[in-house]
Structure 1
Amino acid sequence: MSFPIVRNRRLRGSHALRNLVRETQLTVNDLIYPIFVTVGTNIKSEIASMPGVYHFSLDRLEEEIEEISGLGLQAILLFGVPEHKDAVGTSAYAEDGIVQQATRLIKKQKPDLLIVADTCLCQFTDHGHCGVIEHNSLTNRSDVKNDLSLELLVQTAVSQAQAGADIIAPSNMMDGFVHAIRNGLDDAGFEDIPIMSYSVKYASAFYGPFRDAAHSAPQFGDRKTYQMDPANAREALREAEADVIEGADMLMVKPALAYMDIIRNLKDHFDLPIVAYNVSAEYSMVKAAAQNGWIDEKAIVLEMLLGFKRAGADIIITYFSKDVARWLR
């Protein structure tokens, strides 16, 4: 059958009718809000390239957590900006590291708020790479050593779990990182802590503002030997499959906006929850355009996040979380 018997517009005739037949829903339960904590006192400092996003010192963190909780958000992704950096990222796995201290404070304040701990070394190393660097005198190159890095990433994950993190989210893109961290957590008695793996993380230009926020730009070279080539899609399935085999509980695609085909591919091939990371430049571009009056920010953001859900994302990490929570109310 076709027109005039079939009239697709019949189901679009009113707001209530459109709500009734809507295929994709966005709720506050889908969202994770990233937070940046730093050393010092009385710090609430706006990140210049990310309007509305701040660095918080531990003594100013309580007010932010109260606001997040009051908006109905149930989960945060915790990033730390340390005072001390060295070649092996010691403060990433120190008992008194900035992330560990923040985790304990938040859990004391809001025990039911889910804390997702970003598990990487780049914010904590003086070279800004996500692992241990060794210099090869024969090739005159400095490279990230995969297996040595795994040992430190396990220490970081275990220390985060000991501090009270609910979910470990390794973002380093070393080969075998899920296997190593799963074994490390299990051996330490944290077999019930899930791993939200940054399974498909591209070497993307969309991370620029984040590197300002986390003070994590590499001091030499780039991360293209461990993060993925943006041109590759089949490789994303290999990366995700490896993480599934190694024990990941959730699979992430990062960035999200230019990679919705990858989100859909993972959704079609794996039965684990799929996470989309709506990254810093995706946020900053919208904020900049909105501040110039060029776009309707609310409409753009809600359409974008619905697009992630429609592509297959079950969970969205976004700096818009607080805004969206207000709009959905």
Structure 2
Amino acid sequence: MNITIFSAKHYDRTFFDRTNTNDRHTLRYLEPRLNAETASLAEGADAVCAFVNDQLDEDTLRELAARGVKLILLRSAGFNHVDLAAATRQGLTVARVPAYSPHAVAEHTLALILTLNRQTHRAFNRVREHNFSLEGLIGFDLHQKTVGIIGTGTIGTAFASLLSGFGCRLLAYDPYPNDACKELGVDYVDLPTLLGASHIISLHCPLTPETHHLINAEALEQMRPGVMLINTSRGAIVDTRAVIQGLKNETIGYLGLDVYEEEEALFFEDQSEQIIHDDLFARLLTFPNVLITGHQGFFTREALSNIARITLANATAFESGQGTLHEVTLKRQSPA
């Protein structure tokens, strides 16, 4: 199968080439993101492989179908960037990677919590300047703190397992309670109870119409003062304007983000020589209690290997009619 891979980086080529044993598939790597203007670059491809910030709207899908593309391979679990109804109309099959490494994202979430709490990023810079003062670096014990987990799929469950080892009290909100979380001692509660009781709130739910701006001004009003808020799921779950106000009035004491609702114009590229025109993002960077990473929660060797393996397995299953095809349809509106 001829596969054109958009938004391709050096590491994508490394792991996909390593996985594509016997050159079963013909892989073409393109740096540009996939959208209606770049879709013509897929001419001659049977399938395209897209990442989280590619635009798979109706215009893009129509352009792809017109050029003979039959399969959309998502190298991600989430698929909120795909117009599934339009894909159906165009006769396109959409497949995803349902699970690549829940531990990768869960461990990155924990890294954000520990870094914000113990301020190791600030301490690192101080010591390099021979400043060994501890003023302003005080943290708190995670032991016996209440951690609220919104979304208890595979990633949320892996995160709960990590935090249980710290002796935290674990609360969760999810319309579909997970027995594995219950076995860890997680208590399922309604959302207002979780927001009001938690010292730390971590988001692990998919982006759907129901979860868009789930963390908004109303939600912030229900949180305890000085709460730590962590988002490693999807950026638009958080209303950035409301969160900035929460930082200003000190409702939010710590904010850790690996995703951002307007990240498409920023993340995965070197912007060090550019002026950032996103005023909200620039404002976030001014707060000393905000830590932002560039959507790297998934970025481990194990996860990249699994993403390449499952993506190419989807292509093989579609082509041969054998094996497991992790197809996304209109009946499946949110990732597991």
TM-score (norm 2): 0.31
> Which protein is richer in helix relative to its size?
1
